[in-house]
A and B are shown apart, each in its own frame.
Chain A
Amino acid sequence: MDLQEAISGLKLPLNVRNDLFAELNSLQLSENEITEILQATQDEYARSKVEPCEAVGTIAAQSIGEPGTQMTMRTFHYAGVADINVTLGLPRLIEIVDARKVPDTPMMTIYLEAESANDRDKALQFGWEIEATRVSDIADILTDTDEMQIYVEFDDRVMQQRGVDLDAVVTKLQALQDVDVRVDGSNVVLSPSVKRYRALLQIVEKVRTMVIKGIEDIKRVVVRKEGKEYVLYTEGSSLKKVIPLAHIDATRTRTNNINEMHEVLGIEAARNSIIEEAMSTLREQGLTVDVRHIMLVADMMTVDGEVKQIGRHGIAGEKTSVLSRAAFEVTVNHLLDAAVRGETDELAGVTENVIVGQHILLGTGDVKLIAKTSKA
């Protein structure tokens, strides 16, 4: 009997079939034993299946909401390194289901291509490439209020480390309006044409924050060794600009901004990203929640092809039932709008039927069985 064939013919989920194959392939078992094992596996699988009419939505909501009470509120440092601050715990979970456009602490995890992944120098080098280098990072900026001039004193060592070319900086500085740029060795003297104190300070600020290299949204890069390879963690996120770069492993590189994942990689990626982010938030708090619950939330948020919030401006607000919407938030407006539009409530959901005092169409309430009484 061909084991592979016997297993792949079974009506079991892929991971169970893989488990079976992995487990049985290494053992020398008789055909009888194998048949028995396969049968037992199928039996157990059948026993564990969800029952029809199960209110899986409510169970998922409770399974995520209940541990919410046990979570912390604080923003912690990134596990291990005291380097990148990441929102964790309840605020992060709320952020995920809110589908915020930008998370509180955007962050990216960048993996490198196989050939450079184990090379610390290359990883660091790459980090410098993408980290936003501002003038203030590579130079001291002095303001001379007497002469109404700004002296930018570049630090050669840092410039070399970051791979910044003085000429490139000067070109960028020259693009500034109303400023005369004069190069003096490794220093640059800027003299604004308008000799006013406020204008001068404004220019100083402009120069200080000017990005000369890297990706503007990536504020900082931290390189960490994970297993054998080096991984880059960034404060700030810009997936769109990072993905096309050479030397990175675009298949694993990710951001914690779900909307960005959606924009760049599509809705499926957003769904997986919701699941991954929610799971890791819960895991970090030491709470075990079955993935299936989170999958359901993620699927609900993404079924329509866009990331929708759980709440008034998303799923709850787009429900077809007037009564259900009215019972959630902004009661009166929903009723008035429904009246003008002549909406009809089909009473298909839970809240609506509770409101009118009928059985809900879930679980045992969804089964329409009548016992046949034998007329004796």
Chain B
Amino acid sequence: MSSPKRIGKIKFGLLSPKEYRKMSVTKVITADTYDDDGFPIEMGLMDPRLGVIDPGLRCKTCGQRAGECPGHFGHIELAAPVVHVGFAKLIRKTLRATCRRCGHLLLDEMQQHEFLLKMHELKDKNYSTEETVKNVIKEARKTTTCPYCAEQQKEIKYEKPTRYVEDSHKLMPADIRDRFERIPDSDTELLGLDASNVRPEWMILTVLPVPPVTTRPSITLENGQRSEDDLTHKLVDIIRINQRFQENREAGAPQLIIEDLWELLQYHVTTFLDNEVSGVPPARHRSGRPLKTLSQRLKGKDGRFRGSLSGKRVNFSARTVISPDPNLSVNEVGVPETIAHEMTVPIIVTPRNIDDLQEYIKRGPLNHPGANYVKRPDGKRVKVTDKNGDEIAETVENGWIVERQLKDGDIVLFNRQPSLHRMSIMAHRVKVMPFKTFRLNPAVCPPYNADFDGDEMNLHVPQTEEARAEARILMQVEENILSPRFGGPIIGGIHDHISGLFLLTQKGTKFTKSEVYELLRKCTVEKPLPTPAIVEEDVAYYSGKQVFSQVLPEQLNLTLKAKKCVMHAVCLKTDCEIDAYVKIEAGNLICGIIDEKSIGAFSGAILDGIIREYHDTGFTEASRFLDNATKLAIRSIMAFGFSFGIDDEDVSQQAQLEIEEIMEKAEERVSALINAYEFGELESMPGRTLNETLEMKIMQELGRARDKAGEIAGKNLGFAGELALDNSAVVMAVSGARGSMLNLTQMAGSVGQQSVRGERIKRGYYDRTLPHFRKGDLGADARGFVRSSYKKGLTPTEFFFHAIGGREGLVDTAVRTSQSGYLQRRLINALQDLEVEYDGTVRSGEKVVQFVYGEDGIDPTKSNYGKSVNVQKIVQDVIEKHGSG
């Protein structure tokens, strides 16, 4: 069987009983599957003509082996027609809209004609005709006597799921089918059916197709027993009842029994199609588990559509734990040798590479850069072993394909779930390494949102030249430094990278020449060292800024304000006394301290600057800078030494007393507020109840107290004023590497108010939060104010309140992830077909959604934080150029 090159379109329709029989390879009449010898019974549910599942056997219909044979349908002749549940509602509508005697649609010719015209008009314009069909049925239902045969119409009641009652007389599926047969073809279009392909009576089943065995394979258990698929079980039920029905009818059983059996047959066919119909008890397995029948296979997240068709399993992929390696380039990924052994890249043998490939084959599968398989042009695959390597290497010819093991420099795709944006899958170059984890540069953690607390990531090896080219050109890490979300860099230094460069570029750092070389050892720097900036007692020293300048590209010009900029009314520029004005001129850091704003992920202005300065080589230049800068940062932080311990939160006795006093006073004020409230002296704020007013005021008071405590602690630790660079917490918070003033406050000052839903904690016991307090106590400590700091330690009640507040955070995250996941799925589904056309319009299929993308045709990725052209910079550059030249 040959398959078409490209599927052009897919037409949906109903199959007629005739077609069911035509495509069937056998009638199924026996409910049994296998005989005593374990062979499938002819005309049974496992008839060998329905396809093969056992390896080694050949299909009796098409002669192919298991895996090649797609399987073939059989059929069951139903003893009596039954309703297809999926069409139950449509059947109801059709019954009500057509004449019970002549089958005509209950509309006179005039009306019919009108509706038809309208429908054709809508169809021509490619609009939905749903509304018209609804109107047709509504109108037709109003007619009480048939305009064609003058038959009086009767009210039809529908009882879920498959019962139709006319005048307290039950309509059997056979009756319905008879009626539907009488509906003229010309009327079906108005009922919303595809007149040329669908007949209404096909909604009543007389023949049931039996799906091929390949779709319901039986499993052989360890004890040799066969376990059948749910569908097979259901089919067995159907055949049994079908047989009984037939026998009873032939024996002339009373109508009552016949009707019962008919209903039973209906039940089985219904649950075969859908086992979750409301009003029908689901068919169950012997163990009590509901059977998974046809609808259940298609539905839902793990169903055929979402689970198997929209998302597919792939080969050539690997998964393991990740760990950091700052010595790798951001473009690289460290792959464990064991994985490199298994994963292969197919290479076509050509005169140019035959020697190399023969070498790989000779090395066999066990010596790392070896080969695992060789594929001959006739499609035969030969496994390379360490024994036959030499032999195969000799026979290899041009045009063969060698499946070579993964080696350094190969391009692979690297991914971490959840894949929320395109930067969740990027292309890296392989670096084969010992041990068992994937290694990546910590600077690429932000786009993947990865950390190393046990995260696992996936790796895919592209198998075609086109795929590799696309991966390299479009997906490589350096191509994705800029985020399409906001047009700024999303990759950049994190944690120690920032602390390191922050310490290095402080004023007053000095290094001898050999120290400089030590710092720059791991970097690839081509710039010659400049003249030392400092000479003291005849010894030449380089400043930290000079060292950092070594890794900056030479054409870079940039000014920015560092994170700790205090926003002087008039910027002091180069004279800034806190060195917060960063100026880079021709690749030299003139002044300013490098921190998060300069190299951090999500904000790194230097990376952004490089990419925009170097038009064609920007990304490469940027990734080189990032590699160098991060390596320099790591080496400098090692040189300075950096650690964080409990004594970094030590606050002086004096400060502790001050904090104590603040807390004391705050609590006093809170009790004063409560007193005022209890005596009814509190004025309520506009639009608030007295209670809300009190709560708000208390929250404000306590918030202020916490902030004040933090301020004192901060000042004491050296957070404000003259920075205490010997305090790691301060360095990290000020540079933006990690942590914030709030974290410091909580560690050294006071943890502050714990809240649930933005309010003080108030639930728990009757009228009180914990049994340690009096009933009705509104005081700070009784409602979840944690006065202690983390360092000091929490009292038992405080500890409880903290746990309550913490729990809310956890619940919040759990709820949020599911909600935002669904939001994303909906957005993707709604927008995925949109594309920019060559004329600049944005279209979904034929429909124009925007005439110019984003009103100016600018790609947000390439934009300057959303702005299309930075006119100011261009003007400045030109003036400078002319001014100096």
Chain A residues packing against B (C-beta within 8 Å):
12-13, 15-16, 19-20, 23-24, 27, 29-30, 32-33, 36-37, 40-41, 44-45, 47-69, 71-76, 82-83, 90, 93-94, 97, 220, 222, 288-293, 295-297, 299-300, 303, 310-311, 314-316, 318-320, 322-324, 326-328, 331-333, 335-336, 338-351, 354-356, 358, 361-362, 364, 366
Binds A, one of B20-28, B96-104, B592-600, B870-878: B870-878
Give the CA-CA distance A238 to B877 in the complex, in Å. 52
From B193, B816, B835, B868, give the contact of A71 (CB < 8 A). Answer: B816
- Nearest-Cβ distance from residue B180 to partner chain A, whole angstroms: 13
From A56, A345, A349, give the contact of B9 (CB < 8 A). Answer: A345
Decide yes or no: A65 and B757 within 8 Å by CB, A33-B882, A331-B305 being known contacts.
no
- Nearest-Cβ distance from residue A291 to partner chain B, whole angstroms: 7
Chain A residues positioned under 8 Å from B829 (CB to CB)? 311, 316, 324, 328, 351
Give the CA-CA distance A151 to B12 in the complex, in Å. 72
| A-B CB contacts (within 8 Å), total count | 332
From B486, B816, B830, give the contact of A310 (CB < 8 A). Answer: B830
In the complex, chain B residues 668-703 whose Cβ is within 8 Å of any chain A Cβ? 685-688, 696
In the complex, chain B residues 198-216 whose Cβ is within 8 Å of any chain A Cβ? 198, 203
From A56, A69, A97, A355, give the contact of B853 (CB < 8 A). Answer: A56
In the complex, chain B residues 829-885 whose Cβ is within 8 Å of any chain A Cβ? 829-838, 840, 842, 844-845, 847, 849-850, 853-860, 862-866, 868-872, 874-875, 877-879, 882
Give the CA-CA distance A74 to B831 in the complex, in Å. 28
Q: Would you call A297 and B758 a contact (CB within 8 A)?
A: no
Chain B residues packing against A (C-beta within 8 Å):
6-14, 86-87, 90, 126, 128, 192-194, 196-198, 203, 274, 295, 298-300, 303, 305-306, 309-310, 420-422, 470, 474, 484-488, 615, 685-688, 696, 757-758, 812, 815-817, 819-820, 823-824, 826-838, 840, 842, 844-845, 847, 849-850, 853-860, 862-866, 868-872, 874-875, 877-879, 882
Chain B residues positioned under 8 Å from A295 (CB to CB)? 850, 854-855
From A13, A36, A66, A358, give the contact of B824 (CB < 8 A). Answer: A66
Chain A residues positioned under 8 Å from B844 (CB to CB)? 57, 300
Q: Would you call A66 and B860 a contact (CB within 8 A)?
A: no
Q: Would you call B485 and A293 a contact (CB within 8 A)?
A: yes
Q: Would you call B14 and A339 a contact (CB within 8 A)?
A: yes
Q: Would you call B837 and A290 a contact (CB within 8 A)?
A: no
Chain A residues positioned under 8 Å from B847 (CB to CB)? 303
Residue of A nearest to B838 (CB): A52
Give the CA-CA distance A30 to B685 in the complex, in Å. 63
Show 15 residue pairs from A and B whose CB-CB distance is below 8 angstroms, ordered by the A residue: A30-B882, A53-B838, A58-B832, A59-B860, A65-B824, A66-B421, A66-B485, A290-B854, A320-B126, A331-B303, A340-B14, A344-B11, A345-B10, A350-B832, A351-B310
- Nearest-Cβ distance from residue B485 to partner chain A, whole angstroms: 4
Residue of B nearest to A50 (CB): B859
Chain B residues positioned under 8 Å from A72 (CB to CB)? 812, 816
Q: Would you call A13 and B868 a contact (CB within 8 A)?
A: yes
Give the CA-CA distance A354 to B306 in the complex, in Å. 11
From A71, A331, A336, give the contact of B299 (CB < 8 A). Answer: A331
Q: Would you call B854 and A296 a contact (CB within 8 A)?
A: yes
- Nearest-Cβ distance from residue B88 to partner chain A, whole angstroms: 10
Q: Which 10 A-B pairs have the closest CB atoms?
A: A342-B194, A57-B834, A65-B824, A292-B854, A57-B831, A68-B820, A13-B856, A61-B827, A290-B860, A63-B485
- Nearest-Cβ distance from residue B613 to partner chain A, whole angstroms: 12
Q: Would you call B824 and A76 a contact (CB within 8 A)?
A: no
Q: Would you call A90 and B310 a contact (CB within 8 A)?
A: no
- Nearest-Cβ distance from residue A314 to partner chain B, whole angstroms: 7
Chain B residues positioned under 8 Å from A51 (CB to CB)? 836, 859
Chain B residues positioned under 8 Å from A94 (CB to CB)? 819, 823
From A13, A29, A64, A361, give the contact of B855 (CB < 8 A). Answer: A13
Chain A residues positioned under 8 Å from B758 (CB to CB)? 74-76
Give the CA-CA distance A70 to B657 in the complex, in Å. 38
Q: A13, A37, A69 — which one has the most chain B CB atoms within 10 A of its CB?
A: A69
Q: Would you call A50 and B485 a contact (CB within 8 A)?
A: no
Residue of A nearest to B306 (CB): A327
From B7, B298, B865, give the contact of A332 (CB < 8 A). Answer: B298
Give the CA-CA distance A152 to B787 in the complex, in Å. 49
Chain A residues positioned under 8 Å from B7 (CB to CB)? 347, 356, 358
Give the CA-CA distance A348 to B856 in the complex, in Å. 27
Chain A residues positioned under 8 Å from B875 (CB to CB)? 23-24, 27, 37
Give the CA-CA distance A342 to B129 in the complex, in Å. 13
Residue of A nearest to B700 (CB): A82
Q: Would you call B6 and A358 a contact (CB within 8 A)?
A: yes
Chain B residues positioned under 8 Å from A74 (CB to CB)? 757-758, 812
- Nearest-Cβ distance from residue B116 to partner chain A, whole angstroms: 16
Give the CA-CA distance A20 to B823 in the complex, in Å. 40
Decide yes or no: A49 and B859 within 8 Å by CB, A33-B878, A347-B7 being known contacts.
yes
Decide yes or no: A83 and B686 within 8 Å by CB, A90-B819, A340-B193 being known contacts.
yes
Q: Would you call B826 and A20 a contact (CB within 8 A)?
A: no
Decide yes or no: A299 and B850 within 8 Å by CB, A53-B835, A288-B485, A351-B310 being known contacts.
yes
Give the CA-CA distance A59 to B827 in the complex, in Å. 10
Q: Would you call B12 and A293 a contact (CB within 8 A)?
A: no
Q: Would you call A69 and B879 a contact (CB within 8 A)?
A: no
Q: Would you call B9 and A48 a contact (CB within 8 A)?
A: no
Q: Would you call B835 and A56 a contact (CB within 8 A)?
A: yes
Give the CA-CA distance A98 to B436 in the complex, in Å. 46
Give the CA-CA distance A29 to B875 in the complex, in Å. 10
Chain B residues positioned under 8 Å from A291 (CB to CB)? 854, 866
Give the CA-CA distance A311 to B826 in the complex, in Å. 5
Give the CA-CA distance A54 to B830 in the complex, in Å. 16
16 new A-B contacts, CB < 8 A, other than A27-B879, A53-B836, A66-B420, are A13-B855, A23-B871, A59-B422, A62-B484, A68-B824, A74-B757, A288-B488, A292-B860, A296-B849, A297-B831, A331-B300, A340-B14, A341-B193, A358-B6, A362-B833, A366-B835
- Nearest-Cβ distance from residue B881 to partner chain A, whole angstroms: 8
Residue of B nearest to A316 (CB): B829
Residue of B nearest to A32 (CB): B882
Q: Would you call B485 and A67 a contact (CB within 8 A)?
A: yes
Q: B14, B685, B836 — which one has the most chain A CB atoms within 10 A of its CB?
A: B836
Chain B residues positioned under 8 Å from A323 (CB to CB)? 10, 305
Q: Would you call A354 and B310 a contact (CB within 8 A)?
A: yes
Q: Would you call A342 and B198 a contact (CB within 8 A)?
A: yes
Chain B residues positioned under 8 Å from A362 (CB to CB)? 833, 835
Residue of A nearest to B685 (CB): A82
Q: Would you call A336 and B86 a contact (CB within 8 A)?
A: yes
Q: Would you call A50 and B827 a contact (CB within 8 A)?
A: no
From B9, B126, B823, B874, give the contact of A65 (CB < 8 A). Answer: B823
Chain B residues positioned under 8 Å from A75 (CB to CB)? 758
Q: Would you call A347 and B8 a contact (CB within 8 A)?
A: yes
From A12, A37, A347, give the contact of B878 (CB < 8 A). Answer: A37
Q: Would you call A45 and B868 a contact (CB within 8 A)?
A: yes
Give the CA-CA distance A305 to B476 in the complex, in Å. 41
Q: Would you call A332 and B194 a contact (CB within 8 A)?
A: no
- Nearest-Cβ distance from residue A193 to partner chain B, whole angstroms: 36
Q: Would you call A326 and B834 a contact (CB within 8 A)?
A: no
Give the CA-CA distance A74 to B759 in the complex, in Å. 11
Q: Would you call B309 and A354 a contact (CB within 8 A)?
A: yes
Q: Would you call B828 and A58 a contact (CB within 8 A)?
A: yes
Chain B residues positioned under 8 Å from A65 (CB to CB)? 420-421, 820, 823-824, 827-828
Chain B residues positioned under 8 Å from A220 (CB to CB)? 687
Q: Would you call A310 and B827 a contact (CB within 8 A)?
A: yes
Chain A residues positioned under 8 Å from B878 (CB to CB)? 33, 36-37, 40
Residue of A nearest to B832 (CB): A350
Q: Would you call B834 and A55 a contact (CB within 8 A)?
A: yes
Give the CA-CA distance A65 to B870 in the complex, in Å. 28
From A19, A299, A347, give the contact of B869 (CB < 8 A). Answer: A19
Chain B residues positioned under 8 Å from A54 (CB to CB)? 835-836, 859
From A19, A32, A60, A322, give the contact of B831 (CB < 8 A). Answer: A60
Chain A residues positioned under 8 Å from B877 (CB to CB)? 40
- Nearest-Cβ distance from residue A14 to partner chain B, whole angstroms: 8
